Every structure is written in structure tokens, then in C-alpha cells.
Chains A and B, each alone.
Chain A
């Protein structure tokens, strides 16, 4: 199989010299102003009085804006217009913006924002899943997937287990916090720079907030310092604040959240409780699976419905469920509005079915890998949402990984060591978990992309498309597509910032879709341009020879010239050298209310083996070794893809181990800085880390038969969670399933170690 070149990230020379510009690095005019929000310190309540005099008279403050001062729309929601930029009479969570300070400097704006005296009459706050269930607080009625006859199949199954798992949320912690700027243009137009995965949505929200048509707002995004889903909708508020402040002051305005504000204001990964019931036979073959998802969505709807949908769509992971019932409750709480995060609900769905498989294995006294293998999809079987699986490679992929990692022998060695030394303080554990992840936006119309390609008369190429760069290497990959099509070296392709004035009506760079969609759109534009040059060559040189674009040359039979000369000649002969490209994903069709259809064009597959060691006195633990085999189809760039896999694994393992969000009983997030919220450091990465790409062309006709890579490897981190479960299973009441909740913090591991013999908590 042909992989393309492992070219370094296009901006690497800029990053290593500090020359790459993020929003806060773009020079602003001298009269530019800085902004900060004043935040609610009550989780739910009516605003009864606001005294902002001290804010207005604070050093450097130019103006203070409340909801009443806004020129047009007060809404930054990406979905159902339920998210005012500034609280409108009622506050819904601690951290909600109430007023906007416009000052001369970032520090003065922040200082002044703390001086507001806002009186809030508290209302009952719904903070937890249990409180939301009790109050029936929700965004829509439960959604159900039904396949076969799960109730009767459950009753007739030889064995049944039921249980529940709590799965925590996750802070994105993009290294570059949220940031935006706005520069007023002539005639009321606005130019916005935004650190966003979705420039088109920022354009729409800014236009609405100014009462302008979309064509009066231009949004540019060259890069983000990380996104992970956290800049899909959460960037809207800053861009709108900048635009409104720029309109009111007629001066350029910039806003960046300091890290604490960022963590208090913005949404995070949804936390879930998933109750499950499973029926299976003596071999561990699943006969019926029922799951009930309780999803804590926070105060505004945001993207929660499709997130919760995707969790349901991954409640099978790589396993055939002959009979299945999946129910999902979308709960409304007075906390930050949970939002997109790498995997978009998929990881939570996968965690639950992996828990089920692991618990079945424990019940039967078998290696969980045997149970996994017994239930892997075979092509031709259907999912709980009635899509036929056609491209599964999970069984051979897992076989290859199990062999390469020596899984069986290592597991045996760990088991005999743990059994031989029941009193040993250090316990090792090992687990292999698979991933199958559906690729396409489940909102079908989002699966489209545009591109704009110019060839200048000197043969240099200007490339633009609807995707955004957040470090994932999209711009490099898409430029490789253009270079490949034109037969040019990569340095002839100028990669340019995402810009709503160049490619309109774009979708968010999300759902791992960036290179699938934009790579195809760019190829389409290149084909158009090559077609025009070829047609011109045929007439000009009176030849019917095929025209080739290779090695920097354009060739038609015996006629040959450099690409630059061909561009110049075409220009002189009045051939258009600018083209748009477009792509819409084929084959997909999805009815979310019925839970039926083909929501995904294809699936990406992978598997990981993780070995850990746990100190059973302290709960401290380490990842000793990780082996990964992952399917990216025919890779567009193996170096970039392996980087996504390594980073995804570590972020996924972090989610399930050290990253714990804690809200107190007032609804105040107490983990709002890296001092209290532990994301993986260098010392947390696996001691031994082997990552390989699986040899597998995409069965579907994607860009050069590659596969999406952004989200799927995140779920490889689940193997770390199960390895920890395996290790603590040898401590304490070892015949009881450890039943870990996520994240498996040291405290959670100790809870499992010191449980009573009847399974109840000892402390």
C-alpha cells in the first residue's frame, strides 16, 4: 500500500523560531482595546440589581456593556438560540458572563471585571445527574435505538449481569486559550480574527450580534494553539464580544480568556452515567444488551444532542449486538454547557460497552480478549442503528497487535506473578481494547466542503479551503494533495489562512472530517484547473496526447514545459487559472429520531495494549508499556498520523485516569487551573510506546483511500483504564469485579482495592 510522504508540519519552521502567529500575536493598531467578562458567582438566580459604577471608574476602563446595551442579537448558541452572550435577567451557572468590560489593557479589563456588584436572588440549582433526573430537567425527550427483541433475548440468555458506570467529563486545555479580535471596517463591516474551529459560525454569530447580513463580516483563522472540539462553538462569545465592543467604541478590540476564566466559562466533555444490562451465553457471546445513558449537558443545549447521539452510535464499539436497546437522556443542569470534545460522545459510549465485555469476562473467569474476539463484528452484520458493517478489519487487526505485543504471554506472566504474590504492594495489569469509530457528521448536511485554488502566472499556487488548522496537520495534508495533483514540490503551494471571504458556508473542522472533506474539495479544484490547461494544450499544440503533470513539468506527448511556463502560456492565452472545488460525502443518510440509517461513510479501526503497575497502598500508578496498531487507510502523511495517534492515546488515557473535574455543592468548579486539574505530563506517557499503522486501504473512495485520524485514537486510551482495573482486581476482595468509575484516580483505585467482601465501599 502506498503511503504519501511523512512531510513535517508546514508551520514547523515558524513554530520552532516563535514566528508562528496566534491571535494574541497579531499586531493590533495602537488604539486597540482589551476585554474581559464579569462572571456570575451563583449557579442559578434572578439578577435583582447591578451596580457597575466601580467597574466604570476603574483604571483604564473605556466602557462597560450589559445585555441592555447590545446593538442586536444577544446569542452565541451554535444551535437553538438559548445562549445569551451576556446574562439576560437570569444566571444559569457559576462562570456565566454578565457584563463586558472594555479597557485599555488586558490586565485593567480583568481587574475591573472583579469590581462589579451584582445582586442575585438564588433559585434552586440543578447540579448533578440525580438532581436533573429528579426534576425531569432535560433538553428533549429520551431518544431510543431498538434492534431485535432485547427484552425476550435478555430473559432467555443463560447469564445476565447489570451494573452502572460513572464517566467523568474533561477540560480541553488547549494550550492557547480562547482568543479573538475585531477590527471595524468602512461602512460598518467587521473583520474578525478568531481562534475557532468554525469560522463560518463565528461569521454568522458576529453578523447577528451586529444586525448585519453575513456578507458584512469576514472571519480569518490561520491557526489555533489546540482545539480538540473546545473551539467548535466556544469561540463564538469572544468574537461577538469583540465585534460588539468594536462597534460601540469604533476601535479595534481584542479578547483572550486568562486560563481560570477559560475553565470557568467554557464547556467541557459531557459526563455520563450509563446503566447497563447484558445477557450472554457460556462462551461470553452477547445475546442482548440494554444501555441507559444519562448525559449531563449543562445549562445550554449547545451541541449536546448530537454528542449524546454519537454516544449511542458507539454503544456497540466493535461488537455485534444481536438484540439491543439504547436509551439516552439529555439532562439540563446549572453547570458549564458541555460541548464538543474529541470523540464527541463516542468515547463515553465505547467505555460502557468495554466495561460490559470486561465484566462478562470476569464473571466467566476468562481473558477479556477472548470475549472481545467472540463478539467482534463480521462484515454483513448490522449495528443497533441498522447500518450494515462492510469494512470491518477489527479481527485481523487485533490478531496482529496481540501477536506483535506478545499479549498472551505477558498476561500469563502478570497473572501468575499476581497470584503467586497476593501480598505484594505493587500489582501489574494488562488490557487490550479495540476501537471502531464512525466517520461523518451525523447531521448529514454538514458533510460538505469547498476549496479555492489559484495558479499565478509564475506557476506558484495559492491554496485555500474550508478547514482550520489546530495542530493536527490538516494544512500540510491538504497541501500535499494539491502538490500531488499538480506534480509540484510542496514549497510551490502557498498554504493560506481559513477565510470566510474565500470559501463560504463551511462546516466546523470537527468529526475528524478535515482532510476527508477538504482534501477532496481541493482535488476537485485541481482537476478543474488541470482540465483547463489540458484542453488548452490540445488546441495550442494540436495534439490529442494525454496531458500529464509530473515532476514540476506539464507534458503532452512530445510537448513539455515547466509548470511555471505552462501557467504563463495559459495566462497569455486567456485561460482562467482560478477554480473552486467542492465535495459532498456520498452514501450517507440518517434519521436520528428513528435511530435508523447509514450515518457514517466508513469506520476507522484500531486497538491498543496497555500494561500498568499500581501501588495498592497509595493508588499511585504508571503506564509501563503501550502497543498500538491503528488503521488510517492509505496514510496521507504517516508522521502526522502517528503523531495524532500518540497524542490521542495520551489524552484519552488522561481523561480516564488523572483528569478529574470537581464541582462543589454550590455548583462552583473547583478544578479551574492546571494546579488542581491534572493533565498528563511528560512523565505520564508510557515508558515504552510502540505505534504502528495497519496496512489497509479505505474500502470507500476517500482522498487517496486514506482514513480520518483526529478522534479515533483517543479511544485507545481506554486500554489504560482496563489495565488498571485488571491490576486492582488482584487486590483486596479479588473475586468481586473492581467496578471502577472514570476517571480511575488514585482515590478511585483505592476504593476498589479496599472494598468489603460484599462489594460495598469500605470508606
Chain B
């Protein structure tokens, strides 16, 4: 067993977990934040993406212990408040960027990370860049068209602040 301590969605969280507990397992089963999904179990589909210290990570292949002391954000903690939507969440909703919804939280977490990185680097987030950046997130329903549209729309409404 290992004692882990981290901040999840702005709140302190700690627990004694077995050494091999995955970050996604800790988030879903201990903290009951089930918006982070497990799609392929092997870090290829991207349904499990969360932010660890502000960076997109696939939580299905990261040990919870490896996030010791980290700031973790899940899709549940993305919006400024409970009644709000983050601009990227709103964009996915309004641009029909989802069908079955299973990949959506991972898509949104990857998208917000991508926009932030490009904005911070002062680089333009072109359509080609979005395609490239989304290589690690699979959607089987939409054909990606509305996902790209959602990310473009969300990016235009996000500021680096």
C-alpha cells in the first residue's frame, strides 16, 4: 500500500492505495469521478485523458502514486463553477461534437490542453494542427468533423488567462 496525496479539481485528496493502482482507477473508484472513461485500457483511445499539473495525460497508464503531490483536473473540474460550462464544453455541446459521448471528456481535456499550449507559444492552432494533435483520441461515431469544428470554436472563446 502507498499513501498518496494530490489535489483533484482544486480539492485536497489523499488515500492509502495498493502500489499498482492506476490514476484512472483512483479517480473513478476512490473519488467517484466517473467522467474520466476507460476505453482501450492501453493508452491509445484517449477516453481517459486528464490534466496533471496542467498537461494532458492518459490516466489509464499512469500510476496514482506517480501523481503524488500533483494538481489533477478532470472533466468535472474544468468549468469555473458547477453551474458553468468551460468554453470548450459549450463548444462541443453547441457544435454537435459528440454522439455516444464516451470519448467526449477525453476529447475536451485534450482540446483544452492543446489550445492552451498553442496560445502560450503564440502559435496559430490550424485545422491541420488539430488533426495532428488529436492522433491520440479516437472517436468511433462522429467522423471527427464536428469535433474539429468544436475545438476551433472553443479555441476562439478561450483566453490564455
Contact = CB atoms under 8 A, between A and B. Distances in A.
Given A11-B101, A175-B103, A16 B134 contact: no
Contact of A9 (B45, B47, B74, B99): B99
Nearest to A7: B96
A223 B100 contact: yes
Interface in A229-258: 258
A17 B81 CA distance: 11
Nearest to A652: B143
A260 B37 contact: no
Contacts of B19: none
A656 to B, nearest CB: 15
Contact of A18 (B34, B96, B143): B34
Nearest 7 A-B pairs (CB), nearest first?
Answer: A18-B35, A471-B100, A225-B102, A15-B101, A650-B143, A471-B99, A25-B34
Contacts of B104: 15-16
Interface in B1-60: 20, 25, 28, 32-42, 44-45, 47
A19 B35 contact: yes
Interface stretch (B64-72, B117-125, B144-152): B144-152
B35 A682 contact: no
A673 B34 contact: no
Interface string B100-132: 111111001000000000000000000000111
A673 B137 CA distance: 14
B62 interface: no
Q: Which of B44, B90, B100, B104 has the most chain A CB within a 10 Å cutoff?
A: B100
A175 B39 contact: yes
Interface in A275-317: none
A22 interface: yes
A679 interface: yes
A259 B39 contact: yes
B140 A17 contact: no
B44 A470 contact: no
B105 A18 contact: yes
A16 B99 contact: no
Contact of A646 (B20, B35, B102, B146): B146
Given A226-B102, A673-B42, A681-B134, A16 B93 contact: yes
Contacts of B44: 673-675
Given A17-B85, A685-B144, A689-B143, 17 more contacts: A9-B99, A12-B92, A15-B105, A16-B89, A17-B89, A18-B76, A175-B45, A175-B102, A175-B140, A175-B141, A223-B101, A225-B37, A226-B100, A471-B102, A650-B143, A683-B131, A683-B134
B101 A647 contact: no
A21 interface: yes
A682 B101 contact: no
B139 A175 contact: yes
Contacts, number: 176
A673 B43 CA distance: 11
A671 to B, nearest CB: 13
Contacts of B159: none
Given A25-B34, A175-B39, A650-B143, A17 B135 contact: no
Which of the listed residues B20, B34, B143 has the most CB atoms from chain A within 10 Å of its own CB?
Answer: B143
Contact of B42 (A648, A674, A689): A674
B34 A16 contact: no
B101 A17 contact: no
Contacts of A472: 99
Interface in A37-80: none
B156 interface: no
Contacts of B42: 259-260, 673-675
A674 B79 CA distance: 31
Interface in A641-675: 643-644, 646-651, 673-675
Contacts of B37: 22, 175-176, 225
A194 B89 CA distance: 28
A510 to B, nearest CB: 16
Contact of B135 (A643, A675, A682): A682
Interface residues of A, number: 59
Given A16-B93, A16-B108, A226-B141, A681 B103 contact: no
Residue in A16, A27, A471, A680 with the greatest tally of chain B CB atoms within 10 Å:
A16
A228 B89 contact: no
A254 B5 CA distance: 29
Contacts of B89: 16-17
Given A12-B92, A646-B146, A682 B102 contact: no
Nearest to B136: A681
Interface residues of B, number: 54
B9 to A, nearest CB: 11
9 contacts: A15-B93, A18-B33, A18-B36, A173-B138, A673-B44, A674-B40, A679-B138, A679-B140, A682-B144
Interface string A370-411: 000000000000000000000000000000000000000000
A648 B89 CA distance: 24
A639 B96 contact: yes
Contacts of A177: 39
A702 to B, nearest CB: 22
B76 A470 contact: no
Contacts of A681: 134-135, 138, 144
A557 interface: no
Contact of B39 (A107, A176, A691): A176
A250 B134 CA distance: 45
A691 B142 CA distance: 13
A16 B74 CA distance: 11
Most chain B CB atoms below 10 A, which of A20, A173, A640, A682: A682
B143 A646 contact: yes
A301 B96 CA distance: 38
Interface string A431-470: 0000000000000000000000000000000000000001
Interface in A1-29: 6, 8-9, 11-22, 24-25, 27
A673 B40 CA distance: 7
Nearest to B21: A107
Nearest to B84: A17
Contacts of B140: 172-175, 226, 228, 647, 651, 679
B105 to A, nearest CB: 5
Contacts of A228: 140
A62 B104 CA distance: 36
A19 B100 CA distance: 13
A8 B94 CA distance: 7
Contacts of B100: 174-176, 223-227, 470-471
A20 B92 CA distance: 15
A640 B142 CA distance: 10
Contacts of B74: 18
A643 B93 contact: no
A12 B93 CA distance: 5
B45 to A, nearest CB: 6
A473 interface: yes
Given A175-B138, A260-B41, A651-B143, A17 B76 contact: yes
